[in-house]
Amino acid sequence: MNVLVVGGAGYIGSHMVWALHQAGHRVVTFDNLSSGHRDAVLAGDVVLGDLADRVALERLFAHQRFDAVLHFASSIQVGESVREPLRYYQNNVANTLNLLEVMVRHRVLRLIFSSTAAIFGHPQTPLIAESHPQHPINPYGRSKWMVEQMLADADLAHGLRSVSLRYFNAAGADALGRIGERHEPETHLIPLVLQAASGRRTHIAVNGTDYDTADGTCVRDYIHVEDLAQAHLLALNQLCHADRSEAFNLGNGSGYSVAQVIASAQRVTGCPIDVTHGPRREGDPAVLVADSQRARDVLGWKPAYADLDTIVAHAWQWERQSLQS
């Protein structure tokens, strides 16, 4: 297949580009490199451009024929979305609308959308399944939820079939150390902890120790980025053969607290990690853990790297290589 990966130079997108290439697909990456990295795209062609630029999108779709689009280009920081909500609605919602309109006009009617567990808000059950009520509590979650509503309407009106993959906390790095997490600034817990272990940071700040959890710190479901990429490949296959829109939650089904992640990093690295404590971040629920049984049953998906120490070890390998480069 000819596949367009929007945001293919980013963390998850770059792993997806490589997985698509390994599976035999022809890949084109469309990215403005505002948060991605050109050298992270290990296969296929790269077209520099922005979803806000309708002319660039029209030119891309006019000159190349795509069988499907995978969409990873979005702003993703919960706290930032609370401070700058309009920016999130512009980038995540309005720019996605540009993409959908161009896709419909050029009759490219298959989309895999990078969604999020943040659409659910505060969990009402220990594990969050697809049927869980959707009440996002921050602009980031609301922006992704809005796109899912747009996709449902585009399916009914235009036959644009989509699969929304709602993942929990993407983590880890390519098992062979070729690509990994490189956000600037970094906001994700595991790389921040490992930067404290490597000496790139003096400490790790824990945001909130008074949550209603076993040790008072937030609990999250960490899923290896390569497992996410495999889920996207399976979803693409499902979309092509079943020809219907779907949504799946992706996680390991096991929650780990911030304190447990720090303990794992200390085990994996053998390095001391200085910890400081601060107030809660705005818009953060105490616990988010996935029920991914439907993805297992329908897609045949099974995470290969479910163990937290393995996820941390792959991220640590990437952190050490980053120090040497």
Domain boundaries 2-171+222-250, corresponding CATH code: 3.40.50.720
Beta bridge partners of 237: none
Q: Choose, from 11, 140, 222, 256, the residue flagged as catalytic.
A: 140
State the Cα–Cα distance between residues 274 and 35, nearest whole angstrom: 28
Q: Return the DSSP state at 7.
A: T
Query: Is 256 part of the annotated catalytic residue set?
Result: no
Query: What stretch of H or E contains 61?
Result: helix 54-63
Domain limits of the chain?
Answer: 2-171+222-250, 189-220+253-324
State the Cα–Cα distance between residues 165 and 147, nearest whole angstrom: 12
What is the value of pTM for the model shown? 0.94
| Residue pointed to by tokens 């200085």 | 274
Domain boundaries 189-220+253-324, corresponding CATH code: 3.90.25.10
State the Cα–Cα distance between residues 182 and 37, nearest whole angstrom: 8
Cis peptide bond prior to 185, omega within 30° of 0: yes
* Positive/negative CA dihedral, 56, 91, 121, 311: positive
Residue pLDDT, tens place only, 144-196 = 999 999 999 999 999 999 999 999 999 999 999 899 998 888 888 999 999 99
User: In this structure, are strands 110-116 and 222-224 parallel, antiparallel, or unpaired?
Assistant: unpaired
Domains 2-171+222-250 and 189-220+253-324 share a fold: no
Q: What is the mean pLDDT of each run of 10 residues along the chain (325 residues)?
A: 97 97 98 94 97 97 97 91 95 98 98 96 92 94 98 98 95 93 87 95 94 94 96 96 94 93 97 93 82 96 94 95 79
The pair of structure tokens assigned to 93 is 């919602």
